[in-house]
Amino acid sequence: MTELFDFVGGGVASSSPLVGSDTEPTIFELSVPGRKSSSFRNSGVDLLDPASILESRFLRSEEVDLPEVSERDLVGHYTRLASRQYSVDMGAYPLGSCTMKYNPKFADSVAGMPGLNRVHPGSPDELVQGWLELLVMAEEYLCEITGMQAATFQPAAGAAGELTGLLVIRAYLQHTGSKANKIIIPDSSHGTNPASVTLSGFDVVTVPSDESGLVDTDALAKVLDGSVAGMMMTNPNTLGLFEVKITEIARMVHEVGGLMYYDGANLNAVLGISRPGDMGFDVVHSNLHKTFATPHGGGGPGSGPVAVSGALADFLPGPKPCRLSDKENEFGWYMPPRSIGRVHSHFGNAVVVARALAYMVYNGSDGLKMASDLAVLNANWLKASIADYYEFPFDGVCMHEFVASALQIKKETGIRGLDIAKSLFERGFHAPTVYFPLIVEEALMIEPTETESPQTVRALADALIDIAKRAHDPETKDALHDAPTTTPVRRLDEARAARNPKLIF
């Protein structure tokens, strides 16, 4: 080939291995000066030169350096990237605390309805009656499910819900004249809880778990006094265990004037079985992206509505959608009289709420209970299936998930929880959550969810057992250290990423 053919540069080829075994170049490497995908409507409006109207001190001298790619290469690039990504639609995803259940496709149809997704948030009430009704309906469902009286859909995710709920507690206590400033958190709690407590201006007090993995009520009793604004828990807790003393705990906290905050990350265990309100909680956030099956999108968007008891309703963020009391089927906005104010630029992740409502309506009271029933059954059955091979730091029936420990295996064989997780990829499964909760060494936090069949749960058990067996066999052990080998990339040098961060191309 003559050199005349060698000019090609400034962009690599968009060729692709079928199954993603090669590295995909970045979109910037695919860029070639002058190439383009976009085109614009012929609007008939004359194009003006901003420089002819605006002062030059405002204007860029160069265009933003975006990639220049053809639509064909754009499509190839992101299609190949998608082929390098595991997902629920690909297979089981037993990631504890994350409730990676099946996300129904009909919800995508809902999200795609122009009557929902082409609505401007600044539209006057008369034009958005459907949206207002939808949000009110979702509130009614959510309150019934959680045993609460009123809810806000403004928080965009669980953590935002936590902060919102804590600010509501704060406002309520302030209103009652309380100066309490401590929030109690179990040591098994999720990291967002203490972070939210700090952001809401409270101090964190951690209570330990007892030998059964539950809140140590004696220890709790010791920290309870008038300075306690409330306690934040999830139930079942992050070990997957139901806090059997929950009503007592609630009573104890209430007695010193504190409020009970429910982190709804584990609500999928108790739909129609035990409502946070009945347990004694005053504030509940739900992760719609977990319990109500809105897809997680690689990390979001979610939705973290906060539901509260009647006493706290006046403090919720506003404006809130409401039924107009005078007219049966008309809806409007309302500002709770002692509202903490807005916590979202608009009304929360509205379309995510629409998906969740569709899911709730589809399941109904019977389907929701059945979802929790089978989530719990699957978890207990999986736990029992692997009981001869893995340790469980805490005894007893679990709820929708459980925590196993690879500590013994590690001691005996050197194979760590991480090796087990990575070895699962090669066997066709996503890994469980590892090294959380922090109170269990070599934790493997496993949540099969209700949408996996007994066949899948069984195959997952077999994979876990196979790994445990191989860990004990010197001949097969090393392969576990080397895992995964079938994935697009293998174990990463994470230290290097943090030492010398390269965060942009």
Partner 1 sequence: MGSFVPHTDTEIAKMLVSLGLEEIDDLYDHLPQGARFKGDLSIPLGVSEADVLDLMDSLARKNRPTGRELICFAGAGAYDHDSSAAAMALASQSAFVTSYTPYQPEVAQGVLQALFEYQTLISRLSGLDVTNASLYDGGTALVEAVNLACAHSKRSRVLVSRGIHPHYREMIQTYAKGSGHEIVEVGLSGCSTNLDSVSLQGAAALCIGYPNYLGEIEDLEAAKRLCEASGALLVVVYDPVAVATLRSPGDMGADVAVAEGQSLGVPLSFGGPYLGLFSAKGELVRSVPGRLVGETVDIDGKKAYVTTLRTREQDIRREKASSNVCTNQTLIAIQAAIHLSWLGKSGFSELSRRCFSATRYLSDGISRIPGAKVLNRNFFREFVVELPIDAGTTVERMAERGFLAGVAIREGFEDSPLVGTLLMTATEKRTKSEIDSYLQTLKEVVAK
> 15, 179, 299, 326: which one contacts partner 1 (CB under 8 A)?
299
Distance separating alpha carbons of residues 15 and 280, to the nearest angstrom: 59
Number of residues that bind ligand PLP (CB under 6 A): 13
Burial tier of 439 (Cβ tally within 10 Å: 0-12, 13-18, 19+): middle
Please answer whether residues 153 and 355 qualify as being in contact, where contact means their C-beta atoms are separated by less than 8 angstroms: no
Distance separating alpha carbons of residues 393 and 213, to the nearest angstrom: 8
157 binds ligand PLP (CB under 6 A): yes
Cβ proximity to partner 1, 287 vs 413, nearer residue:
287
52 binds a copy of itself (CB under 8 A): no
Cα angle for residues 288, 181, 211 (degrees, 5° grid): 65
DSSP-assigned beta bridge partners for residue 186:
207
Please answer whether residues 428 and 78 qualify as being in contact, where contact means their C-beta atoms are separated by less than 8 angstroms: no
Cβ proximity to a copy of itself, 51 vs 113, nearer residue:
113
Measured in residues, the chain has a length of 505
Give the interface segment with ligand PLP, choosing from 135-143, 155-163, 241-249, 485-493 (CB under 6 A): 155-163
176 binds partner 1 (CB under 8 A): no
Per DSSP, the three-state class of 109 is helix
> 31, 97, 378, 449: which one contacts ligand PLP (CB under 6 A)?
97
Distance separating alpha carbons of residues 110 and 209, to the nearest angstrom: 43
Distance separating alpha carbons of residues 466 and 23, to the nearest angstrom: 31
Cβ proximity to partner 1, 344 vs 477, nearer residue:
344
Cβ proximity to partner 1, 99 vs 411, nearer residue:
99
60 binds partner 1 (CB under 8 A): yes
380 binds a copy of itself (CB under 8 A): no
**461 touches which of ligand PLP, a copy of itself, partner 1, none (CB within 5 to 8 A by kind)?**
a copy of itself
385 binds a copy of itself (CB under 8 A): yes
267 binds ligand PLP (CB under 6 A): no
Residue whose pair of structure tokens reads 């949540």 in the numeric block: 447
Q: Which of residues 159-178 bind ligand PLP (CB under 6 A)?
A: 159
109 binds a copy of itself (CB under 8 A): no
Distance separating alpha carbons of residues 174 and 461, to the nearest angstrom: 51
Distance separating alpha carbons of residues 451 and 92, to the nearest angstrom: 9
Exposure string over 348-364, b if 16+ CB within 10 A, otherwise e:
bbbbbbbbbbbbbeebe
- What amino acid occupies position 224? L
Give the interface segment with ligand PLP, choosing from 1-9, 109-117, 128-136, 154-162 (CB under 6 A): 154-162
Q: Which of residues 468-487 bind partner 1 (CB under 8 A)?
A: 484, 487
Exposure string over 46-56, b if 16+ CB within 10 A, otherwise e:
eeeeeeeeeee
20 binds a copy of itself (CB under 8 A): yes
> 369, 407, 439, 465: which one contacts partner 1 (CB under 8 A)?
369
Cβ proximity to ligand PLP, 239 vs 468, nearer residue:
239
- Least distance to a copy of itself, CB of residue 389, Å: 8
The tokens describing 319, both together, are 């404006």
Cα angle for residues 436, 438, 442 (degrees, 5° grid): 65
DSSP-assigned beta bridge partners for residue 259:
230
Stated as kind and residue range, the H or E segment containing 354 is: helix 350-385
Distance separating alpha carbons of residues 104 and 107, to the nearest angstrom: 6
> 170, 182, 190, 320: which one contacts ligand PLP (CB under 6 A)?
190
- Residue in 122, 96, 103, 357 with CA at minimum distance from that of residue 240: 96
Enter the DSSP assignment of 46: P
- Least distance to ligand PLP, CB of residue 304, Å: 5
Q: Which of residues 67-96 bind a copy of itself (CB under 8 A)?
A: 70-73, 75-76, 79-80, 83, 86-87, 89-92
Query: Between 245 and 264, how does the x/- string for binding to ligand PLP read (CB under 6 A)?
Result: ------------------x-
**476 touches which of partner 1, ligand PLP, a copy of itself, none (CB within 5 to 8 A by kind)?**
none
Exposure string over 122-140, b if 16+ CB within 10 A, otherwise e:
eeeeeebeebbebbebbbe
489 binds a copy of itself (CB under 8 A): no
Q: Which of residues 217-276 bind partner 1 (CB under 8 A)?
A: 242, 244-248, 270-275
**504 touches which of partner 1, ligand PLP, a copy of itself, none (CB within 5 to 8 A by kind)?**
partner 1
> 287, 309, 349, 449: which one contacts ligand PLP (CB under 6 A)?
287
Enter the DSSP assignment of 122: T
> 3, 5, 124, 502: which one contacts a copy of itself (CB under 8 A)?
5
Q: Which of residues 322-381 bind ligand PLP (CB under 6 A)?
A: none
Q: Which of residues 396-455 bind partner 1 (CB under 8 A)?
A: 396-397, 421-422, 425, 430-431, 433, 436, 450-454
Instruction: For helices 474-482 and 417-426, give the axis angle rounded to 10 degrees.
Output: 80
Please answer whether residues 76 and 29 qualify as being in contact, where contact means their C-beta atoms are separated by less than 8 angstroms: no
List of residues contacting a copy of itself (CB under 8 A): 1, 5, 8, 11-22, 30, 32, 35, 70-73, 75-76, 79-80, 83, 86-87, 89-92, 102, 104-105, 381, 384-388, 425-429, 451-456, 458-461, 463, 465, 486-488
